[in-house]
Structure 1
Amino acid sequence: MARGKIQIKRIENQTNRQVTYSKRRNGLFKKAQELTVLCDARVSIIMISSTQKLHEYISPTITTKQVFDLYQKAVGVDLWSTHYERMQEHLKKLKEFNANLRKEIRQRMGECLNDLGYDQVVNLIEDINTSLSLIRERKYKVIGNQIDTGKKKLRNVQEIHKNLMLEFDARQEDPHYGLVENNDGDYLGFGPHIIALRLTQQPPNHCHPPGLHRGGAASDITTFALLE
Structure 2
Amino acid sequence: MGRGKIEIKRIENSTNRQVTFSKRRNGIIKKAREISVLCESQVSVVIFSNSGKLSDYCSSNTSLPKILERYQLNCGKKLWDAKHENLSAQIDRIKKENDNMQIELRHLKGEDLNSLNPKELIPIEEALTNGLTSVQDKQMDYLKMLKKNERLLEEENKRLTYILHHQQLAMEGNMRELDLGHQHEDREHATQMPMAFTVQPFQPNLQGNK
TM-score calculated relative to the size of structure 1: 0.43
TM-score calculated relative to the size of structure 2: 0.46
The structure richer in helix per residue is: 2
The structure richer in strand per residue is: 1
